[in-house]
Chain A
Amino acid sequence: QVQLVESGGGFVKPGGSLRLSCVASGFTFNDYYMSWIRQAPGKGLEWISYISGSGGTIYYADSVKGRFTISRDNAKNSVFLQMNSLRAEDTAVYYCARRGNYYYSSDSWGQGTLVTVSS
């Protein structure tokens, strides 16, 4: 079965950096776009980034463009989110999700990793 496991969350000061990882199993990893979606405490869901199966196509939400970088290593079935210049408003649970190939739903999710940005 599809499994996604995130890691790398933690506590960081404003302006700092953090790198999130997500390891996938149970499917042919390079056949799928992967995404990061976040949820601030007590708030709704916010899509932030996609990366294609080859890594050649990438999209970002305006709220993170220029600060966050998504990447993947298909040999290790892993997707990453490098987060720089972090702000208090980036505090959230970050989910890794697989994007379905038809109609682009997020059809499988990891358990999430919490990022807290505070001085």
Chain B
Amino acid sequence: DIQMTQSPSSLSASVGDRVTITCRASQSVTNFLNWYQQRPGKAPKCLIYAASSLQSGVPSRFSGSGSGTDFALTISSLQPGDFATYYCQQSYSIPHTFGQGTRLDI
């Protein structure tokens, strides 16, 4: 199985900050890499697919980058609703494993 490792595990930031979360795969997943946001008590929501493609309806302050084994999710200017947990997921080979999550706090 491909292991996905996110860093940091938690992060404190303020409204307006620019933040970056990274995700590393244990082997190449080319660009089969997705990012999800999960607010407390809610279902996850897909933000980015194919490493850098923005899901429909997702604000442009979210962006993704990377290929192969190293990826990043950047939020350019944090808004109050962005304080949540973020997960990466590889969809290159089954099982489609998730990272352990990054909790973004105020």
CA distance A38 to B57 in the complex (A): 25
Once A50-B94, A104-B91, A105-B91 are accepted as A-B contacts, the answer to whether A95 and B44 lie under 8 Å apart by CB is yes
- Please determine whether B31 and A95 come into contact, CB atoms closer than 8 angstroms: no
Stretch among B15-23, B65-73, B74-82, B97-105 lining the A interface: B97-105
B48's closest neighbor in chain A, by CB?
A: A105
Q: State which size class the interface on B falls in.
A: 20 to 34
Instruction: Classify the secondary structure of B's interface with A.
Output: loop
Stretch among A24-32, A70-78, A108-116 lining the B interface: A108-116
- Residues on B with C-beta less than 8 A from A95 are 43-44
- Taking beta carbons and an 8 Å cutoff, which residues of B are in contact with A? 31-32, 34, 36, 38, 43-46, 49-50, 53, 55, 87, 89, 91, 94-101
